[in-house]
Amino acid sequence: MPPRTKPAPATPSTMKELKDTLWKAADKLRGSMDASQYKDVILGLVFLKYVSDAFDERRGQIAAELRADGMNDEQVAQLIDDVDEYTGRGVFWVPDAARWGFLAQNAKGLPPTGGEPAKSIGQLIDEAMNAIMTANPSLAATLPRIFNRDNVDQRRLGELMDLLNSARFTGDGAKRARDLLGEVYEYFLEKFARAEGKRGGEFFTPAGVVRVLVEVLEPTSGRVYDPACGSGGMFVQAEKFLEAHDREGSDISVYGQELNERTWRLAKMNLAIHGLNGNLGPRWGDTFARDLHADMQADYVMSNPPFNIKDWARNEQDPRWRYGVPPTRNANYAWIQHILSKLGPGGQGAVVMANGSMSSNSGGEGQIRAQIVEADLVSCMVALPTQLFRSTGIPVCVWFFARDKAGGPGGAIDRTGQVLFIDARNLGYMVDRAERALSDSDIAKIANTFHAWRGTKSIAEPVEATDAALPAYADEAGFCYSATLDEIKAADYALTPGRYVGAAEVDDDGEPIQEKLERLQSELLAQFAESERLASVVRTQLGRVHV
């Protein structure tokens, strides 16, 4: 009997199935390599697929344009390799031996020719990465070249290449296919962050948390900056927000800095996949030791820097410490003041911080916070639910800043001398026993409350509601409160929302409180009596049992 052949796997029909299939296939590669190297291998492959798809799409467009101008095949062949026609449209130039089609054809390795030794698929991919970086200086020192190492299973690497090559991302054209490759990249980033635990939190911020910052600030144009940009999630979410509301991602200019070399590489690839031309500096680097964007003033700053850093590059003479020198053993107020130093005229900022930052008085932090509040730079404080980060159990909050809280265009309300406090700790839902997430309605509630308080119409409002009256802001017990600087001073400059919003109102069921207490006490005593009766019955029955 001939051996039974294993049927080819069906092409995934949904995005979820595709992601799951790719993750399971990628998971086969783990073997002896550590998690961070494994991550580089997988995300490097997805990036390679992206740049090749984008190149092929642009190549097809050029050919169509030339033929529309009446050129024949020979003339098209002479002009189709004009590098400027690609790079001028934001498409990376991909040399022949780095194109996905060539690599996919040789996924099992390139056989020896002319006395040359055979090349493994890993060697071919490493050479492709080198060729792409040489052809595109903006990608210098970015792409991983680790595919031909001894601990990378070449057979399984070839199988993953086959799967990426054959997977049907969509039938809606190359651009949509590249968009979905971007989704796959983000999906893998999230999966790796979960797998790596605390280490994963260094490069990945949960999408729901990022969306709170983006949908409150709504960065529609200008310079967007993140001094601890991780894998670039803030920038990607800003671009998604603009796209969702029919705005162009090109309306924002992206600036960032990242300390970790591997994470900096991830961010560069992530921005490229999403079509964002970001300035992340010529290399990775410590924002405190050397600010790579020293002269840049931003319209929006959004960041989730590492919390409570004890070992950081502290310089007491640093001009960024305008409101006080941060303590030696905690960089929280260094991040806050760095962000404030980057806000241009009319600039706004947001930073995710540990909850302790809202009330700590150690190391002079209380005095720094008082100076910042008195300078009227804090616009809003949001306390977030617990368990949003798998990487840490530390409760977190978001500080929002504004250079100018005066009234202005669009009917903005003058909020000079006021701070909005939002207690969102009761929002969210449990994804599993270890992780909570914010729903779309949770994020909208936070953002809409801020926009109502500020008196500005969100671009998320439907078009037909453009001329409708803005909802009036009102304090909501247990959720939000607009406090004056005098009230904050009276609370010793603590910025914890729970101090200001109070307790949520309890629905009145019409039963007088005294009668309710007497009724509940009577019911409780009756339950005790019933419990004692049942215990007596059990003891009697046990006494009848013969040992």
Whether residues 132 and 159 share a domain: the answer is yes
Q: Is 4 exposed, middle or buried (0-12, 13-18, 19+ CB in 10 A)?
A: exposed
Q: Do residues 135 and 142 lie in contact, with contact meaning Cβ atoms separated by under 8 Å?
A: no
Let me know whether 224 and 180 are in one domain: no
302 neighbors 349 (Cβ within 8 angstroms): yes
Asked whether residue 164 falls in the same domain as residue 292, the answer is no
pLDDT at position 460 is: 67
User: Is 515 part of any domain?
Assistant: no
- If DSSP codes are grouped into helix, strand and coil, which group holds residue 416? coil
Q: How many domains does the chain have?
A: 2
Classify 123 as helix, strand or coil.
Answer: helix
pLDDT tens column, 255-310: 999 998 888 988 888 888 887 878 999 899 999 999 999 999 999 999 999 888 99
Within a domain: residue 519?
no
Q: How is residue 525 written in tokens?
A: 């005593």
Task: Determine, yes or no, domain membership for 452.
Answer: yes
Residue 298 lies in a domain: yes
Question: Would the pLDDT of 546 be above 80?
Answer: no
Instruction: Work out the angle at residue 204's Cα, subtended by the Cα atoms of residues 203 and 210, and round it to the nearest 5 degrees.
Output: 130
Average pLDDT rounded to a whole number, residues 408-417 = 84
Residue 110 carries which DSSP code? B
Q: Which residues of 464-477 are buried (b: 16+ CB within 10 A; e: fewer)?
A: eeeeeebeebeeee
| DSSP code string of 258-303 | -S-HHHHHHHHHHHHHTT--EE--SS---TTT--TTTT--EEEEEE
Task: Provide the mean pLDDT of the chain.
Answer: 85
DSSP string, 180-212: HHHHHHHHHHHHHHHHHTTGGGGT---HHHHHH
Last residue of a domain, one of 169, 192, 215: 192
- Mean pLDDT, residues 324-352: 96
Which residues are paired to 279 by β-bridges? 255
Does residue 385 share a domain with residue 353?
yes
Q: Is residue 38 located within the same domain as residue 108?
A: yes
Residue 384 gets which letter from DSSP? P
The yes-or-no verdict on residue 314 having pLDDT over 90 is yes
| % of the chain at pLDDT higher than 70 | 85
Tell whether 105 and 216 lie within a shared domain: no
Residue 472's domain is classified under what CATH number?
3.40.50.150
In a domain, 10, yes or no: no
Average pLDDT over residues 407-419: 87
If asked whether residues 351 and 418 sit together in one domain, one would say: yes
Residue with tokens 């200008």: 222
Note whether 271 and 178 are same-domain residues: no
419 strand-pairing partners: 483
Q: Which helix (H) or strand (E) holds 25?
A: helix 15-27
Q: Which of 18-22, 134-138, 378-382, 532-536 has the lowest mean pLDDT?
A: 18-22
Q: Is residue 535 part of a domain?
A: no
Residues 116 and 35 in one domain: yes
405 and 355 share one domain: yes
> 281 and 409: one domain?
yes
Could you tell me if residue 546 is inside a domain?
no
Tokens representing residue 162 in the block? 């086959």
Find out whether 48 and 128 touch, Cβ atoms under 8 Å.
yes
Give the DSSP letter of residue 475. -
Amino acid letter, residue 203? F
pLDDT value for 433: 81
Q: 5 falls in which pLDDT band (50, 70, 90)?
A: very low
d(CA 218, CA 241): 8
Strand, coil or helix: what is 98?
helix
Residue range(s) defining the domain that contains residue 246: 197-501
pLDDT of residue 145: 92
> Strand, helix or coil at 111?
coil
Structure tokens at 502: 């109070």
Q: Between these two residues, 7 and 439, which has the higher pLDDT value?
A: 439
259 and 178 part of one domain: no
The closest of 241, 240, 235, 232 to 204, measured between CA atoms, is 232
Domain membership flag for residue 529: no
207 with 233: CB under 8 angstroms?
Answer: yes
Site of tokens 């680097």: 285
